[in-house]
Amino acid sequence: MESFSGIRGVYGEDFTDDVARRYAQAFSEPYKGSVLVIGGDSRKSNPALRKIIIESFRKMGVGRIIDVGIIPVQACEYSILKFKASGGVYISASHNEPEYNGLKFLKEDGGLLYPEDADSLIKKANSGEMPEPARHATATEIIDRHEEVVKEYANYILESIGEDFIEKIRGANFKILADPNGGSAVVILDKIFKLLNVNGKILNNELGRFGRLIEPNVESLKYLQKQIDEEKFDFGCGFDCDADRVEIVAPSHSEFAKKMGPVVSGNYVLALCCDSYLEGKKNQIVVTNDCTSYLVRDVVKKHGAAIKETEVGEMNVVSGMEKWNSAIGGEGSCGGVIVFPVKCRDGIMSIVLILKMLAEREKSLTDILDYYPEYYSERTKLFCSDPVGVKNRLEGYFKNKGFEIIKTGGEEGGLKILFDRNSYLWFRQSKTEAGMFRIISDGNSPERVAKILKKGISLFNKINKE
């Protein structure tokens, strides 16, 4: 898969050393004599890819390489700002399973390349013409800054919420169960918990040893429930491999858990983060992708904030935040909040913002969730050989039926069908899983959401066979 989200695939099959080399050289060609950052998650294929990236940078004459090692992607982006680098590469396949890997290309503000720049890089890497190497490639300096960045990033997270709230969290005696699943969150969670005086119990705490599926979701995190209840944790949390995604597990005794299930979806995580961040702020704009639940809209409106929607994709949300001068946004469909100046989803920041709100309001997580509006979401992904054609025929069908339609992005962007003010059906070609077509229904009635998804699947299957 090649898109503005980066490149990724099964390592050694469709994503090979040669592919990584071509991309690394094409990306680094403009940076002769410059400073670039390299980091990654904890997959077994990362050391081999790290070696290829460094060799490619050297070959193209990069002046200095700052190696931040295994670290969350948001900390890698932060390091680009800290060291005033010209950009960098983060080695990861994010929420994909361990056999996958990939590369995220970062620009000088730490964020992913803009879509048009990513398109240019993809064309350049696939042109068959490799860039000319620099004459003095061996002069490249490599500097290890892993420990420094871990410490600085932890301090940055705390500074972002302020000393008063740090003290409130420290005095609240929170008890949290965390599962980084051998991913990059391992290197930062214990430090954050100690700085905030949180009694944190960390499972699957060995880098590169994956004890469950990589993506944090209902299926992969439900095993935490029994331990949360028995040991009376305030809540649990689970991360993906690069720690940009996080989902929460609530105690099962709450009304919320009884109605919605104990695993708190990414939409509720984003709503909690926005609720925390917006407290006391005025005239704010929150940017989300177009398949984020209207739950987030309803929660942020109580703060007088406005919602703007973009196409799915972290960089699309970031571009929207830049356009509308927003400091907070995210993708409820993925979990994790984006808080500038770091321009990616941040599962660690999400947890700290939630702790801030709980300490400030002196309420439990479930107390707050019990008062949130109830929104339900169902989703599936199906194989599709002609995603653009199928999407166009889906649009034609609903347009002829008189539904209001919202589209984001180009022909491969999102297609959103509004069934009422609170309910929608959403279609889009996956940019991270080859050949897959995503379908999501969301709304404030579980029966209606199930009915809408069933209709979407049936119509998709019919059109896909034509």
Distance of CA 368 to the CA centre of its chain: 24
Q: In which region does residue 69 sit, left (phi positive, over 0), alpha (psi from -120 to 50) or beta (all else)?
A: left
Can you give the pLDDT at residue 137? 54
Residue 459's closest CA among 376, 411, 403?
A: 403
Distances (CA, A) of 438 to 311, 434, 435: 14, 11, 10
Can you give the pLDDT at residue 138? 58
Specify the length of the chain in residues.
466
Give per-residue burial for 232-245: e unless 16+ CB within 10 Å, then b: ebbbbbbbbbbbbb
Residue type, 34: S
* Rounded CA separation 192/172 (Å): 15
* Rounded CA separation 70/203 (Å): 18
* Rounded CA separation 270/256 (Å): 16
The 3-state secondary structure of 192-233 reads HHHHCCCEEEECCCCCCCCCCCCCCCHHHHHHHHHHHHHCCC
Q: Going from the N-terminus, what domains does the chain have, and what CATH number goes with each?
A: 2-144 (3.40.120.10), 150-371 (3.40.120.10), 376-465 (3.30.310.50)
Within 8 A by CB and 6+ apart from 75, the residues are 39, 68, 149, 150, 153, 188
The H or E element containing residue 198 is none
Residue 323's closest CA among 22, 114, 119?
A: 114
3-state secondary structure of 54: helix
Token duo for residue 336: 């994790």
CB 324 within 8 A of CB 167: no
Token duo for residue 274: 């926005």
Query: Starting from the edge strand earliest in sequence, which strands make up the sheet with 414-418, in order?
Result: 376-383, 436-443, 424-429, 414-418, 404-408
The partner residues of 138 in beta bridges, in order of sequence, read none
* Rounded CA separation 161/118 (Å): 33
3-state secondary structure of 347: helix
Can you give the pLDDT at residue 136? 59
Can you give the pLDDT at residue 240? 96
Token duo for residue 33: 């004599």
* Rounded CA separation 169/196 (Å): 6
Distances (CA, A) of 138 to 56, 134, 141, 361: 11, 9, 8, 57
Per-residue pLDDT of the chain (466 residues; tens, 9 = 90+): 887 778 999 999 999 999 999 999 999 999 999 999 999 999 999 999 999 999 999 999 999 999 999 999 999 999 999 999 999 999 999 989 999 999 999 999 999 999 899 999 999 999 887 777 776 555 789 999 999 999 999 999 999 999 999 999 999 999 999 999 999 999 999 999 999 999 999 999 999 999 999 999 999 999 999 999 999 999 999 999 999 999 999 999 888 988 898 899 899 999 999 999 999 999 999 999 999 999 999 999 999 999 999 999 899 999 999 999 999 999 997 777 999 999 999 999 999 999 999 999 999 999 999 999 999 999 999 999 899 999 999 999 999 999 999 999 888 889 999 999 999 999 998 877 778 999 999 999 999 999 999 999 999 999 998 7
What does the DSSP 8-state code read for residue 364?
-
Token duo for residue 435: 């050949």
Residue given tokens 């689970």 in the structure block: 238
